[in-house]
Amino acid sequence: MSTIYNFNAGPAILPASVLERAQHELRDYQRCGMSILEMSHRSPEYEAINAEAAERLKRLLGVGNEYHVLFLQGGASLQFAMLPLNFLPPGASADYLITGAWAEKAYEEALRVGQAREAASTAANGYRSVPSQADIALDPHAAYVHITSNETIQGIQWHTWPDVGDRPLVADMSSDILSRPLETQRFALIYAGAQKNLGPAGVTVVVIRDSFLQSASSNLPTMLRYATHVKNRSLYNTPPVFAVYMVNLVLGWIEEQGGLAAIAERNQRKAATLYQVIDTSGGFYRGHAERDHRSLMNVTFRLPDEALEKRFVTEASARGMVGLAGHRSVGGIRASIYNAMDQEGCDALAEFMIDFMRRNG
């Protein structure tokens, strides 16, 4: 099998060792005589996987029993609605910090449920940065404050968390969860679709502080209540068994790499490799995000014209580098370099970028 460097934004690259282990265990999981895909979610084998994944995630995040870990379905898009349904009571309001396409979607969905405020937005500068603290106007009585920690489409990332006082801070971390050490205690709730840094598509991780959970509405359909899933340890209905199994393997892989501090160092080095080429290209490559707000997960940039961008994507693909076309809404180039992308892949892309510029600049 030839080497392919997978720069897709999601579903995204997974660690090779994780895929190999899943392949090895696929037909016969731990000598049970059947595949994990066939097992009951009530079996002791799956319940052990579910519990181990939750404990591994808590360990990596540095939290204990004051937080609950849930494995849900519906993607982050369901969380856009499930969050306000649980925590935005009638007469209250929630604050949203709008930093890109995904933050917009979360805000728009909250407006369908109740009162939501745009407490800050960087739309005016084309979503090239996150708002400064001075530009954030918070409601002193906000039910919660919502941020999107990393915007995959625009390639911007929060590197310093906003000060929200004693208001509950909530984050969509779908595209950068476990990519760096996290002050988890600052957050009342974190949610993340798994298909970028945690595993395959099909499961969404929610990490929720118990004290925040106590304020959730109980007047909701059973499946839309976080309390239902906490009480049943994510086993109220049939969970996405194989996806959770894969998340557990990826969490184990992160621990083997040295945890979040080691992963962060690796990610910073990878991103620096690509941003260095952009910054020294004399304007041939133009990064979208302002330097202080650049994503370490999604490197977004433009070339002098769209024809060159199409040629760039075509030639890169021919060299085994796939998934580099920017999101259809903005165009350009996007290299997604999540945890499982290794330095070798970033070096290969950087070398191609330099060669392409030499031939077309």
User: Could you say which of 158, 172, 253, 270 is catalytic?
Assistant: 172
Tokens of 167: 């208001």
Report the length, in residues, of the chain. 361
- Prior bond to 181 cis, omega within 30? no
Tell me whether residue 172 is one of the annotated catalytic residues.
Answer: yes
User: Could you say which of 58, 158, 176, 196 is catalytic?
Assistant: 196
Return the CA Rg of the chain: 21
From edge to edge, which strands make up the β-sheet containing 333-336?
286-287, 298-302, 333-336
Tell me whether residue 102 is one of the annotated catalytic residues.
Answer: yes
Residue labelled with tokens 């021919």: 318
Alpha-helical regions (H) of 233-338: 241-256, 259-279, 306-318
Residue 146 identity (one-letter amino acid):
H
Tell me whether residue 231 is one of the annotated catalytic residues.
Answer: no
Closest CA to 97 of 74, 129, 73, 75: 129
Alpha carbon distance 125, 237 (integer Å): 44
Tokens of 108: 């728009």
Closest CA to 142 of 103, 88, 210, 213: 88
Alpha-helical regions (H) of 62-100: 75-87
DSSP state of 43: S
Interacting residues of 52 by C-beta distance below 8 A, sequence separation 6+: 248
Residue labelled with tokens 């290209």: 281
Closest CA to 18 of 299, 262, 338: 338
List residues with catalytic annotation.
102, 172, 196
